[in-house]
Amino acid sequence: SDTSAHYKRGAEKADGGSSGGRSGRSGGGLPGVSASGMGLRLSQKFVFLLFLSGLVTLCFGALFFLPDSVRLKRIFLSKTEIQPVTVGSGSENDVREHLKRPKEQGMTSAKGETGTKGKSLSRKPSVSHEATEERLAGGKAQEDLTLSRSKTESASERATSSDRGANSDTFSYQKFRGCLLKAPLGRDNGKPGDPQTNERREKVKEMMKFAWDNYKRYAWGKNELRPLTRNGHIGNIGASIIDSLDTLYIMGLMEEYNDAKEWVQTNLDLNSNGEASLFEVNIRYVGGLLSAYYLTGEELFKNKAMELGEKLLPAFNTPTGIPRGVINLGSGTIWSWGWASAGSSILAEFGTLHLEFVHLTELSNNPVYTEKVMNIRKLLNKIEKPHGLYPNFLSPVSGNWVQHHVSIGGLGDSFYEYLIKSYLMSDKTDDDAKRMYYGALEAIEANLVQKSPGGLTYMAEWRGGILDHKMGHLACFSGGMIGIGADDGAPEKRQHYLDLAAEITHTCHESYTPTKLGPEAFRFDGGAEATATRLSDRYYILRPEVIESYMYMWRLTHDPKYREWGWEAVEALEQHCRVESGFSGIRDVYTMTVSHDNMQQSFFLSETLKYLYLLFSDDDLLPLEDWVFNTEAHPLPIIRKSCLQDETTQDKTVSK
Ligand code: DMJ
């Protein structure tokens, strides 16, 4: 009713305006209108028809472009509402997707495939009921840090001592620690020697505490904080808590970390009948819990991760084994996103499971997880790829591509990321992943990488051979990705890859203006040079990708400009996104008087602030020799098979 009242007011205003202006002439009739007032002259009919057809074309055009820059941010869908309960839904694209969903959902033929809930599992990991660890009382942050870390260390010692009596089949935390080349948190928790850098790092820590405290105060247990209205965004599965565990831990915010841990222990309900995005649950929850386990040795996190992993298995019960995008965690029913063409699965979704699933096999000693992701890879290897490229939509029934849209940004992005990271995480033994990554990169370079008239290197999108000269903010992660993969490329290409990584990162930095924050998508045509030309692309939802590339490029080159660019971003976040009760995305990065979107995304806590903190830390905080970051910035250790199987391996840090 609000809408119709608004519409009526608008119509009245228009009427009033025109009648007032025309009334003087109305006695003689309006020019061009016949005496009856109903008929129109031929020329007017023509103009009217022209206008109508223009409008129709515009609408079709808009529909065509709708899914382009969508990052599918849904995690848990509500049981009762047709529209999904989302995480990360601050994006206008997501809102548009929601609007499309109700109608299309009914048309999704795939809805309703039921999985054989975890049949193949030999044993069911139980939820940990270990007693809640006593929370540390008060004290200053620094005291907490020392005290609590030693408490957590004793947790990892507990884990290791229980390992000793365990069946040799089960994962040994002690051995895992012994196989790390360096202590995960470095010599001095990554504290940089240079005072200015340290001050900057402390500032980032303060931002994390501020974001966390407000989330805790106003939205505890909800998925995300709405900082303007001071409440939680729909969804009660604590996405911000799981996403924050490792960030709080590495920053030494131990009181906060312990609150988060206690919530996981007592409130994380994985038996809910909620419907979930396989991709989002995997990267945020499985990834977040795995990282928390590997960093702290707390069995609780391992058990929760394995319990969740088992619940995701029915998603793979399709004719090809390519999982569908949505799953009901209670019943195991699966279906495809209503908006994905012809019930297809999304490359960036089914292609972003590998790291976590391999670790689930490591921890559970159950090969089923690795088998599932290896099967995806096998199919991708088998099917024909247009120009060597991987399109974004694939049918889980026929195993064929559904459309020829290729993007290194939304819908495609983390598939490429997981290829190179699978190789790195396997201690460089997964040659298949290596071959696929460099093959894909070659095809991307040949078909998508472009240079703008102004000399900026960018990744265009590809639609059946036609280039769309736009780059999404999401695609900016590729600077870092190409950077970390440079060293393992063909010797003659190594420097080239490093240069390409630096150029892409530079382009993304160029898009951060004038607020020093960047738009959701920017273009390189019609005279545009890394600028958003559509109003609807001008928003910034606290995304991490540009900062992520700064962090990797800093680690790889130690060029001080990356730290300077990171600091620019910190200042901009403080100036434009910090509000009284948290951080919020903004609707237009090109106006200095910003309008806030009222969402503190959970990836701001897991990624944006973590990457900034790492950027201002020494390289020995989560060293890249030992860790890869999943696509939600949750660190996962490199698996050193031979070391892990060696009887004599000892945890150097514990014995020390
Ligand atoms: C995060 O959820 C992940 O990084 C994902 O892969 C894509 N980007 C969002 C944040 O922008």
For 326-351, how does the pLDDT look when each residue is reduced to its tens digit (9 = 90+)? 999 999 999 999 999 899 999 999 99
Catalytic residue of the set 413, 417, 503, 626: 413
Give the separation between CA 145 and CA 152, rounded to whole angstroms: 10
What's the gap in Å between 633 CA and the centre of ligand 1? 9
Ligand 1 pocket test: pick from 474, 541, 551 the residue with the most ligand atoms within 8 Å of its Cβ. Answer: 474
pLDDT at site 441: 98
280 tagged catalytic = yes
Alpha carbon 459 to its chain's center: 19
Assess whether 153 carries a catalytic annotation. no
> Which of the four pLDDT bands, split at 50, 70 and 90, describes residue 272?
confident
> For 121, which DSSP code?
-
The dihedral built from the CA positions of residue 314, 318, 324 and 326, taken in this order, carries a sign that is negative
- What Rg, from alpha-carbon coordinates, does the chain have? 26
320 annotated to a ligand binding site? no
- Exactly one of 68, 280, 349, 632 is catalytic; name it: 280
Residue 10 host element (H or E) = helix 2-26
Determine the pLDDT at residue 646. 85
Q: How confident is the model at residue 59, as a pLDDT? A: 54
**Quick one: pLDDT at residue 55?**
74
133 catalytic? Reply is no
Task: Report which ligand 1 atom has the smallest distance to the Cα of 284.
Answer: 2
Quote the pLDDT of residue 589: 98
Residue 449 has pLDDT above 60, yes or no: yes
Element of type H or E holding 381: helix 368-382
- Residue 57: both structure tokens together: 């074309």
Residue nearest (by alpha carbon) to ligand 1 atom 1: 632
**21-44 pLDDT, tens digit each:** 333 223 233 333 233 334 456 667
Q: Which residue has the higher pLDDT, 40 or 448?
A: 448
How high is the pLDDT of residue 56? 66
Q: How many CB atoms sit inside 10 A of residue 612's CB?
A: 28
Closest ligand 1 atom to Cα of 543: 11
CA of 287 to the centre of ligand 1 (A): 13
Query: Is-contact 564 506, C-beta < 8 A?
Result: no
pLDDT at residue 78 greater than cutoff 50: no
Residue 241 Cα, ligand 1 centroid: separation in angstroms? Answer: 16
Q: In whole angstroms, give the CA distance from residue 304 to residue 298.
A: 11
pLDDT tens sequence across 135-193: 222 222 232 333 344 444 445 544 443 443 334 458 999 999 999 999 999 999 999 99
Is residue 354 within 8 A of residue 373, CB to CB? The reply is: yes
Q: Which among 113, 362, 430, 545 is annotated as catalytic?
A: 545
Ligand 1, pocket-test mutation among 603, 605, 606, 634, most atoms within 8 A of CB: 603
Residues 6 or more apart whose CB falls under 8 angstroms from that of 7 comprise: none
Q: Is pLDDT at 109 greater than 80 in this prediction?
A: no
Ligand 1 centroid distance, CA of 42 (Å): 54
Q: Which atom of ligand 1 is nearest to the CA of 607?
A: 4
The best mutation among 629, 631, 634 to test binding of ligand 1, ranked by most ligand atoms within 8 Å of the C-beta, falls on 631
Would you say residue 533 has pLDDT above 80?
A: yes
What 3-state DSSP class applies to 269? coil
Q: Distance (Å, rounded) from C-alpha 316 to C-alpha 325? A: 10
* Closest ligand 1 atom to 348 CA: 6
* Residue 578, H or E segment: strand 578-579
| Ligand 1 atom at shortest distance from the alpha carbon of 633 | 4
Distance 35 CA to ligand 1 centre (A): 62
Here the tokens at position 419 are: 């290829």
Q: Round to whole Å and give the CA distance between 131 and 73.
A: 34
Among 242, 630, 632, say which to mutate for ligand 1: greatest number of ligand atoms within 8 Å of CB. 632
Distances (CA, A) of 374 to 101, 141, 357, 429, 554: 31, 44, 10, 15, 33
Closest atom of ligand 1 relative to the 71 alpha carbon:
7
Determine which one of 520, 597, 620, 626 is catalytic: 520
Q: Is pLDDT at 62 greater than 60 in this prediction?
A: no
What residues flank ligand 1, with Cβ below 6 Å?
71, 414, 474, 543-544, 603, 607, 631-632
Query: How far apart are alpha carbons 116 and 250 in whole angstroms?
Result: 39
pLDDT of 46 higher than 80: no
Q: Is residue 545 annotated as a catalytic residue, yes or no?
A: yes
Ligand 1 midpoint to CA 603 (Å): 7
- Across the chain, what does the average pLDDT equal? 81
